[in-house]
A and B are shown apart, each in its own frame.
Chain A
Amino acid sequence: MPDGPSKSRDRDRDADLAAIDALIDRLVPALTAKLGASHLGELEVREGDWKIRLRRPATAGSWNGEARRATDRAGRSAAGASGSPAHDPHRVATPASSNGATPGGGHAGHTSGTAGRPSHEHETRRVATSPAVGVFRPNARATVGTRVREGDALGHIDVLGVREDVLAPADGLVGELLTDAGNAVEYGQELLVIAVAAPAGAA
């Protein structure tokens, strides 16, 4: 075995990290501006052994797509199960997974100023998600057009007979129900939309 292979790997790694830092400081701000001004989805620059690729936040990464297919398939097989409520195949795409780096992509896209909410259209729309895995039981408040306050219970998830409240994430009006009463839901699943009340002073 060669002498101290891991030590020299450590040194290489430190050198690599320094080079990456330098590239990011120098290149990323300029490239981000270019990408922002263009209609391109992706921009790649090569320099020596290095390449930098910037990508706009994708709507869904490829692996996320795989996962969704897995549950779609699941949804069908669950629907065939006798006596058990159909498991709603809808799956929440969290910002974390939809912004996820793709393998080997030298991903630097999340430095490009789009951190936080993925897009402006979501700002007036908040979604109440499931606090548990169980059966969705909306209450009378969970009807379209009802005015609710942040923290109001919109129903509950029945977890083996124990209730876990579904809470309104913001003040606003109840919009669309994303799954039906009595459906089986998983943890974090989107249940209903709240149209957020306009802040004071806004038109």
Chain B
Amino acid sequence: MFRRVLIANRGEIALRILRACRTMGIEAVVAYSEADRESLPVQLADEAICIGPADAKRSYLSAPALISAAVITGCDAVHPGYGFLSEDETFAEVVRAHDLTFIGPSADVLDKFASKEGTRRLLGSHGLPTIPGSDGMLRDDAHALDEADRIGYPVLIKPSAGGGGKGMRMVRTPRELESAIKICRSEAKSAFGDDSLYLEKWLDDNRHVEVQVAIDRFGRGIHLGERDCSVQRRHQKILEEGPTPALGPAARADLAERAVRAVVAAGYENVGTLEFLVDRDGNPYFIEINCRIQVEHPVTELLTGVDMVALQMRIAAGEPLPLTQSDITLEGHAIEFRINAEDPEHDFRPGAGVVTRYHAPGGPGVRMDSHLYEGYEVPPFYDSLLGKLVVWAPDRATAIARGKAALDELLVEGLTTNIEIHKALLANEAFLDGKMTTNLLDRVGSAAFLAAAARA
């Protein structure tokens, strides 16, 4: 196992990795930008090292700065967290070239799964149902129009690289396609440095269900159940839960088993998440794999009792999986609420500022993963995630009740948060019935959603 790990990330995930390191007896070195000097992970770290200015390109996205920091602080591994360089095969390769372990898949594996379109084809060949889509990357507008005609509108334009909804648009007509494709190209170019796009058939009223897997170096794999991430706003997940209300127990088990079989056969290694769209009739379609620890991993942790970050580090250290499939039992129901510094009443405008009061809720089955403290100044340079409130209960109704109580108790003052949208969700009929679809929030509009909840 590693002796000393460089945490190449910030915010709640830096804290989460630090906590995993502590429980495993590993020293944690936190790499931080000047904007994060006063952050909680920096305060709690065994060592903290400033790697650059606030601009992420010169700090959290700078491979030389991060690796140099790891070398001079005597680390033997680098944990990239999520986002930033977590799925960058060049970074993974350079980390290894400096005799450090990249806590994630090898560069070869990352390379194999780097293209979403290629991955869809690869896992399709290993038995996963895939969504109809364009034949390869879009060469030009004419090619895009031809392919969209063949697939049938509506279609979703997607960038080959990255995630988080950037460069992604759903279009219903050739005219919309022509104008949206330019925006998608420029968004993808600026966000990921790669403007290749492809098309996918858009399923109206779909659900987003994802399977968590863990595969060791020896090709032994397990799944840890699935999560439902259908509550989205403009392709950004807001709330995640497990098990999914969209599928029955047999269909859930079948999907998870097929997912783990396919990735083992395709040569995957690390923890990973296979994302599926599920249509109205309950048919799943594989869309992409995330080769990293995910924001919503605590949902799985509460359902299985497995520490996903620790498991990921064991796999990266070359240990065989400490668990077999029969050790994994999924119990109860878990819901995660992403608490963001954004204003639901003003188009989710992101905010920054000093947290003047902070209180995290508690009680049975309540967990708060957050880097906030009173007096902490949320810098304006990075994403707006302030933390994750996660609740667990033996059944969904009780989990919702615990979620409501915990959201009422949660106090974040000094900046505007999206807490109200979560309260509105827990009062929404579609959510309570387990019938949320990925487009519902955008179709209804967040303002109408909040207003309806206020009337209820």
Contact = CB atoms under 8 A, between A and B. Distances in A.
Most buried by B among A70, A85, A87, A187: A187
B85 to A, nearest CB: 15
A48 to B, nearest CB: 19
Given A84-B72, A103-B374, A133-B65, A63 B43 contact: yes
A122 B93 CA distance: 45
Contact of B453 (A1, A160, A162, A189): A1
Contacts of A186: 49-51, 69
Contacts of A87: 47, 49, 72-73
Contacts of A189: 50
A131 B65 CA distance: 11
Interface residues of A, number: 43
Interface in B275-313: none
A102 B373 CA distance: 12
Given A1-B423, A1-B453, A97-B37, A81 B74 contact: yes
B428 to A, nearest CB: 12
A192 B454 CA distance: 61
Contact of A104 (B37, B375, B423): B375
A1 B454 contact: yes
B50 A78 contact: no
Interface residues of B, number: 40
Interface string A60-96: 0001101100110111011001111101000100100
B427 interface: yes
Contacts of A83: 74
B48 A71 contact: yes
Given A133-B68, A133-B69, A159-B64, A74 B47 contact: yes
Nearest to B454: A1
Given A103-B375, A160-B64, A184-B72, A67 B52 contact: no
Interface of A: 1-6, 63-64, 66-67, 70-71, 73-75, 77-78, 81-85, 87, 91, 94, 97, 100-104, 132-135, 159-160, 162, 184, 186-189
Interface of B: 4, 27, 29, 34, 37-38, 42-53, 59, 64-65, 67-69, 71-74, 98, 345, 354, 356, 374-375, 420, 423, 427, 453-454, 456
